[in-house]
Amino acid sequence: MSLPLSLQRYISDLGLAIPVPLDMSFVESLQATHIARYSFNSLAVVMGEDISLNLEDISQKIVKRGLGGYCFEHNKLTFELLKALGYDVKLVMARVLKNQEQEVPRTHRFTLLNHEGRQYLVDTGFGGDCPITPLLLQPDVLQKSGNDVYRIVAKPEGEYDLQILKQGDYYTMYRFDLAVYTDADCLAGNFYSHRYPMAGFVNNLMVGLKDASRTIFLMNHELMERQQGNLKKQVLSSPNDLYQVLTNTFGLDIEWVIAEHLFDRFLANNLALLNKEDQSEAVL
């Protein structure tokens, strides 16, 4: 089978071979390996770069340059590979709820895969809460993926909620339906996500990697690592701390001056607030 260079680069970099015949084992390996290798992050967004949804541009950025990205990039790459290989896939758009009933646009994309009469959610772009294996589209069934447990809840009007178990309770990640969506819908969601002044990606530095044993996620000044049920948190208190985490922990090839710039924009104010809170508690 002849694949475009962008997809050849992708499947080769992950160390995977074209499956014959098509099976779910390949999809499972693709999803888990992708999420463990390519970071989910908002770096390009907070640096004011344009986020291209051209497949070759995405492959260059994520695979060749190792810069990671967010859902519209990660899941496009995964979707196009599965489609090119002959899998029955469908683009799905979702509303990110963050465990709240709120009116928000559809700013997340993932893949719905139909294989041997069953439908699966395949998502390679939802950060620290992203499942590392496909989830069966079957409501009210607990599904373990790595160290996390998920369930899908059927809602009125043909919608579904994807939830993850956190601290003994279920947290709603996003809501979706099975309507027909196209790349045009992704263009609108992508523009909102990286250009709208109040969008979460515009206002927060986020970087994450995840595999079967560990989830590590940076949100502004706080680095969180979850492993075997244990959660460790570390406050990054200097530009050098941030640079070391971005380059060594997440493997991003960035210059020190970029880390310094990001520290001043996204960490310094939070650290100042933390110091004020500590001083207030000390006085009390």
Chunk the chain into consecutive blocks of 10 residues (it has 284) and report each block's average pLDDT, rounded to whole numbers. 93 97 98 98 97 98 97 98 98 98 96 98 98 98 96 96 95 98 98 97 98 96 92 96 98 96 94 65 44
What structural domains does the chain harbor? 5-204 (3.30.2140.20), 209-284 (3.30.1120)
Q: Is 210 exposed, middle or buried (0-12, 13-18, 19+ CB in 10 A)?
A: buried
What are the Cα distances from residue 56, in Å, to 27, 48, 60, 147?
Answer: 21, 20, 6, 33
pLDDT for 282 equals 45
- By 3-state DSSP, what share of the chain in percent is helix, strand and coil, each rounded to 5? 40, 25, 35
Tokens at residue 277, please? 């809170």
Tell me if 59 sits within 8 A of 68, measured CB to CB.
Answer: no
In the numeric block, the tokens 């994807």 are attached to 162
Beta bridge pairs of residue 93: 109
Return the SS3 of 279.
Answer: helix
Could you read off the pLDDT of 150-175 as tens digits, one per residue? Answer: 999 999 999 999 999 998 999 999 99
